[in-house]
Structure 1
Amino acid sequence: MSEPDIRATDPVDLMLRVLDLTGGAARTTEDIFTGDSHPMPGGRVFGGQVLAQAVIAAERTTDDDRVPHSMHGYFLRPGDASRGLTFSVDRIHDGRSFSTRRTQAYQDGVPIFSMIASFERETPGLDHQATMPADVPDPDELAAAADAQAIHPLSQRLLADSPIEVLHAEGALYRAAAEPAVARQNVWVRTRRRIGDDPALHRAVLAYLSDLTIQESVLRAHGVAWADAGLKVASLDHAMWWHRPARADEWLLYSQESPSASGGRGLSTGRIFTRDGELVATVAQEIMVRTGAR
């Protein structure tokens, strides 16, 4: 599979092309899809890309009235961003209300990511949610900050921009650690332009951007910045629960915290809210983290 041509497209166009998988036309016990990768300066596939592609592949094998409500995935090996990916979907179960799918992402016949996702035919029921954090600066107030247009290290492309706008309420960790050292942060995120009205695409892009900044509450707790010499970070696993519909091209508050770090691993959790305070998703991720002098 050829590498996407990035010379005549904007970053959002490239993201949408990468998420537009091919294949999977026949309804069988195993469905095969293929997709491209973002070019990455470090050469490794961006984890959020694989998450979103795996969700799209799985959802294309379910009935139209079923939407994803949870996924649990493991990053098995670093992927090569110069090569495409193959996604194999197993139709594990289709019940009256729920469907379960297993998606494996491969390069050169070797699995690099494994996910199980559950889909539901939504019905009315109990409804409550956590409260959005108070006193977080509005994104319009943060847009003029010096780091507002900086490209996050984990999503940096061979492009002028990232497809996702990222605004840190407590200051970014790109160049220097923030003070005080606390195990939480709030980040506003959205795509840089409108991406249409397909709810399935917005759910996938929500998974895509859920892998951005989620690691930072671990770093922030210990006064670590991305630019620190000797820092090594790798995502080990990722879980996500979709609660309510949301548009990924409108501002979303990603409220994150780290309950624990030990044994060279750190756990982060996040809640994603609309600007109006509706909780739309919950995320959890464990990372491997190594520091130079620490």
Structure 2
Amino acid sequence: MKENKEISALLHLIDDPDEYVYNTVSEKIISFGKAIIPNLENLWENTTSEDLQEKIELLIHRLHFRDLTNDFTAWAAGDADLLEGALLVARYHYPELQKNTVLQEIEKLKRNIWLELNSYLTPLEQVNVITSIIYNYYKQKGVEFAYNNPDDYLINKALESKKGNAVNNGIIYLVLCELLDVPIRAINIPRQFILAYVDLQHDLLNPVGHASEKIKFYIDPLNGQIYSHKDVESYFKRISVPPTASYFRQLNNKKIIQFLLEELSKCFDNERNHYKMDELLLLANLLEP
């Protein structure tokens, strides 16, 4: 943004010790939108004050977050494409993210899987092909849920480092299956992020049946391991939770991204970064029905 007297005065006042002045100046700067970011970056480069640099960094973050909030609102109001939602979450931590790199990696994976699939394969054989390409050929690794590394929750970093937790790997798996017309969905099993191969014909003929009846088998997106109905029944016994129908219902894309945001927010549950936790939960709340 071209600097004029008003912008010069505002930038000069960022370092004002009076909190009221600083808050007023901050809101005015935010009102200019992202066009003012180059001015803020220039000021950051030309100051030696760490306090001022921190204030500038926070202003730039707020400008990016305002845009991201608008984009999430538009995403939720539209078709809520899963890959697009995952890219929006990644932009929270990497606001300058170039999504083409992610799209190219997804396309490469999709093409490799498509070459191995055909209409004569059974559901289990289809999943074995997908799993083999992702975890054996492509070498995608799974890491346990932890809250000390936000990158574990971001699709760009999962594809770049070839490792992600269950929800991040799961989103990659789901995106690929959607592109390849393989009926795999995320379901609502407690304390897990688990995928299921859904029998679409059964779903059509028995819409009011128990949700688990529509599932052929389950897939752990951490490593591609397949589980049977018996395995899942044993899990429910182990955690002493009755396997009610709601736990087998399919999660829509908004629910998946909401879960991702909530889990990512836990990485910032400390005094220094608590505002980030609040922001991520605010984005998650935007996706409530």
Bigger relative contact order, structure 1 or 2 (CA pairs below 8 A, ≥6 apart)? 1
TM-score between both structures, scaled by the size of structure 2:
0.26
TM-score between both structures, scaled by the size of structure 1:
0.26
Q: Which protein is richer in strand relative to its size? A: 1
Bigger Rg, structure 1 or 2: 2
